[in-house]
């Protein structure tokens, strides 16, 4: 990957599942920390998280797990999804919001920089060029090292690349969802196999698939009798809860 000059493990650790029992059934912070540390000892060094996972909690758990191990791992987190007191989320990629988000993420993670900072979802009310200018400035300040896009179309990626270097793209991708049109009923403006993979290869970028195990389905952890609690984030995935 020409645009990320790091030795990264082929397998990464997705941290939505360490959001805590209030967001992911059957988890505890203690088990999550042990699992993260075991992954590091096993050679995994890429950890993908986001502020919205557990409404800040996943970043805090990851931060606790990597104390004394920061130089061994590559942290990828995100910005662009805010939440209110009721946990309702909204898209926001305004410059002032991104600056506030990066400071909160650094505090929760217990670090002075993020390796890969990704725009989580497009914000239809903010031009991508304006957002990228802020990301480029954060890179110059040393708060982030690489810039990535998650859930963005190829057209949007090309616009972003005119402002600053984009090192990675992220999208929904697994054996059962190779060119999905939606995620949790949210329309997707990209097709991974048809568009994104050829694009990242052509431009020397990294590709980070999210939900590679279909939120546990492809790991054999979910049967047709599985019932998620109301607060489990997977309860909102219609593909896992069809009649």
Which residue in the list 13, 53, 146, 173 is annotated as catalytic?
53
53 is catalytic: yes
Question: What does the alpha-carbon distance between residue 137 and residue 143 come to, in Å, rounded to a whole number?
Answer: 9
Antiparallel, parallel or unpaired: β 89-91 and 81-83:
antiparallel
Question: What does the alpha-carbon distance between residue 98 and residue 92 come to, in Å, rounded to a whole number?
Answer: 8
Which of 152, 136, 132, 156 lies closest to 144 in space, CA to CA? Answer: 136
Which of 92, 22, 95, 32 lies closest to 59 in space, CA to CA? Answer: 32
Instruction: Give the bridge partners for 168, in sequence order.
Output: 148, 206
Rg (CA), the chain: 17
Give the count of beta carbons closer than 10 Å to the beta carbon of residue 150: 22
| Backbone angles phi and psi of 189, in degrees to 5 | -95, 30
Crossing angle for the helix pair 95-109 and 57-65, nearest 10 degrees?
40
Catalytic residues: 53
């Amino acid at each position: 990957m020409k645009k990320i000059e790091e030795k990264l493990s082929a397998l990464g650790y997705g941290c939505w599942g360490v959001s805590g029992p209030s967001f992911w059934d059957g988890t505890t912070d203690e088990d999550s920390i042990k699992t993260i540390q075991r992954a590091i000892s096993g050679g995994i060094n890429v950890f993908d998280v986001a502020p919205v996972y557990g409404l800040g909690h996943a970043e805090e758990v990851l931060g606790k797990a990597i104390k004394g191990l920061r130089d061994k791992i590559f942290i990828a987190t995100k910005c662009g999804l805010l939440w209110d007191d009721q946990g309702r989320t909204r898209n926001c990629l305004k410059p002032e919001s991104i600056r506030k988000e990066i400071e909160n993420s650094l505090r929760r993670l217990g670090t002075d920089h993020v390796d890969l900072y990704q725009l989580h979802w497009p914000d239809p009310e903010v031009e991508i060029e304006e957002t990228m200018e802020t990301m480029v400035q954060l890179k110059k300040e040393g708060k982030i090292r690489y810039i990535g896009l998650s859930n963005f179309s190829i057209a949007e990626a090309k616009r972003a690349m005119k402002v600053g270097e984009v090192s990675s793209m992220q999208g929904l991708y697994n054996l059962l969802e190779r060119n999905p049109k939606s995620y949790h009923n949210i329309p997707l403006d990209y097709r991974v196999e048809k568009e994104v993979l050829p694009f990242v290869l052509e431009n020397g970028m990294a590709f980070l698939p999210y939900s590679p195990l279909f939120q546990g389905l492809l790991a054999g952890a979910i049967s047709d009798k599985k019932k998620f609690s109301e607060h489990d984030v997977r309860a909102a995935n219609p593909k896992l809860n069809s009649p």
